[in-house]
A = this chain, B = another copy of it.
Amino acid sequence: MADATSAPQPPVDFRTEPGRYKHWKLAIDGNVATLAMDVKEDGGLRPGYELKLNSYDLGVDIELYDAVQRLRFEHPEVGAVILTSGKERIFCAGANIRMLGQSSHGWKVNFCKFTNETRNGLEEASAASGQTYLASVNGPCAGGGYELALATDWIVMADDGNTAVSLPEVPLLAVLPGTGGLTRLVDKRHVRRDRADFFSTTEEGVKGKRAVEWGFVDEVVPRSRLDETVRARAAERAAKSDRPQGAKGIALTPLERTGDRDRLRYPHVACAIDRARGLAEITVSGPETAPPADAAGVAAQGAAFWPLAVARALDDLILHLRTNEEEIGLWVVKTAGDAERVDAYDTLLADHASDWLVREVRLYLRRVFKRLDVSSRSIFALVEPGSCFTGTLLELLLAADRSYMLDGAFEGDARPAPSLRLTATNFGPYPMVNGLTRLASRFLAEPSRVDELKRRIGEDLDAAAAAEAGLVTFTPDDIDWEDEVRLALEERAAFSPDALTGMEASLRFAGPETLESKIFSRLSAWQNWIFQRPNAVGATGALQVYGTGQRGEFDRRRV
């Protein structure tokens, strides 16, 4: 898009469905699906660039994300997915350069974050969902194209004169392969660092036998045998999948969203934007009815099943706010409803954790909470009477940068004092990108606290008990509540948005690191820096002049 400041654009809608895809073709053959990228050149999300050579923009990636989600929920029978290109002479040329060149800094960073999350999701499908991704590289596979292949579990490449994998960002564009590429080279594929160095500075990339020997791809085969080879590998993986062949998927029906720009409503999730104060108030409602009795009941409810409906709504809302509401820097999270019922849903989810659909629902919630963790927005949780921060919904509070819980009731409010409740769900199924639960990350200083808290599952913890347990930050009483909360919100809104982003990214993920956390910390942070540097984005920066015939001119000082 043209710089967001100069040319207002319609908001991006992340909701789509296969019938509306412009860029991807999904085909299912028994237990193997094929997802073919066939980007429509004039189908860009914004004016000003053509999506040549199967290059992508946010719109292309929104469709990919939707397809991946549907494969998981709508196709229990699919145990392997082949990612390939629908074009004859190119696999994928990566993110569209002209699109990047004309985008604002914030757009570039947000675009990379979303594409990273989608690729991490592919890996999660392979690792945890019994739906393994493979790449069939049937033409030149460059930059973001190779990064997409890197996110699959097995890369087969055609051995012809034309096809190579490459990361030409550094030599061509003066930016990083920032969608996980560098990290996956050395931390997933364990390519030797000197070979990775050579590769990442070589425009033309590597092909043939050397690509296998050095670890860039898993197999090369003659072009004529590419399809059959990939199909065979996919079939092997699908045969090992624990997904049920006979089950029926559930339809991800169109997500309802009503209201206007300042007030959005989904089933179970509402968002009110206060532009003057720079904040969005997000309220998640608990279930209105008791959970179904068993996994069959979950399947019968389908997309209406409360935890799934909440996951879908929150997912869409987070993406919407990140992309379309850049100036809303603070998300204030509340809940409303009945703790007992949330608890009952958590019990159902835990009791049927091995059911394919329940597993998908929990994995989806896990991804949504991770999205929250890596969002560049301050998150405060407010615990008030009528709330239900219990189990799955308590994760929202644990994901917050800080929390305020009312100690007691409000004067003149008949509702009782609020309480928090832990369920077994807080102790395992929703790890952060660092691989730890939010509780374990919280209590790194005293890991024994986590065990103590396990013994308090099901207890209603009032403000004093929650503070004592270390679950909340501040517990003002009704006399102090309004002022204390108001001042905290005002203060937050006054700080530098950039300093907050860096601070939050530094404080949220203590403890161990994983491939995912490295992508969001080291790689993305460096990419953000470079996206800000004149050598990339200045008038003579390489990203800016790409395609004009000029070469980038560089300030040669090393920083």
Partner of A109, one of B444, B528, B559: B559
* Contact (Cβ within 8 A) B402 A197: yes
Q: Does A69 contact B (CB under 8 A)?
A: no
Q: Does A192 contact B (CB under 8 A)?
A: yes
**How far, in angstroms, from A187 to B174 measured CA to CA in the complex?**
33
Q: Does A20 contact B (CB under 8 A)?
A: no
Assuming the A-B contacts A106-B558, A326-B557, are A182 and B445 also in contact, with contact meaning beta carbons closer than 8 angstroms in the complex? Answer: no
* Contact (Cβ within 8 A) B193 A535: no
**Closest residue to A519 on the B side, CB-wise?**
B506
Chain B residues with CB under 8 Å of A326's CB are: 557-559
**How far, in angstroms, from A358 to B473 measured CA to CA in the complex?**
49
**How far, in angstroms, from A513 to B510 measured CA to CA in the complex?**
11
Partner of A198, one of B402, B496, B497: B402
* Contact (Cβ within 8 A) A559 B501: yes
**A466 vs chain B, min Cβ distance (A):** 12
Size range of the chain A interface in the assembly = 35 or more
Chain B residues with CB under 8 Å of A492's CB are: 201
Q: Does A391 contact B (CB under 8 A)?
A: no
**How far, in angstroms, from A530 to B559 measured CA to CA in the complex?**
14
Chain B residues with CB under 8 Å of A526's CB are: 501-502, 505-506, 525, 528
Residue from A170, A183, A442, A470 with most neighbouring chain B CB atoms (10 Å): A170
Chain B residues with CB under 8 Å of A502's CB are: 176, 526-527, 529-530
**How far, in angstroms, from A553 to B205 measured CA to CA in the complex?**
45
Assuming the A-B contacts A442-B193, A444-B186, A502-B526, are A558 and B507 also in contact, with contact meaning beta carbons closer than 8 angstroms in the complex? Answer: no
Question: What would 18 A/B residue contacts be, using CB atoms closer than 8 Å?
Answer: A105-B559, A170-B495, A174-B499, A182-B503, A182-B506, A183-B506, A186-B444, A192-B470, A193-B441, A194-B400, A194-B442, A196-B507, A197-B503, A200-B503, A326-B557, A496-B533, A496-B552, A525-B525
Q: A174-B495, A496-B542, A518-B521 are in contact. List 13 more A-B contacts (CB 8 A).
A: A170-B496, A173-B499, A176-B502, A185-B507, A186-B444, A200-B503, A327-B556, A327-B558, A496-B535, A497-B559, A498-B535, A502-B526, A532-B533
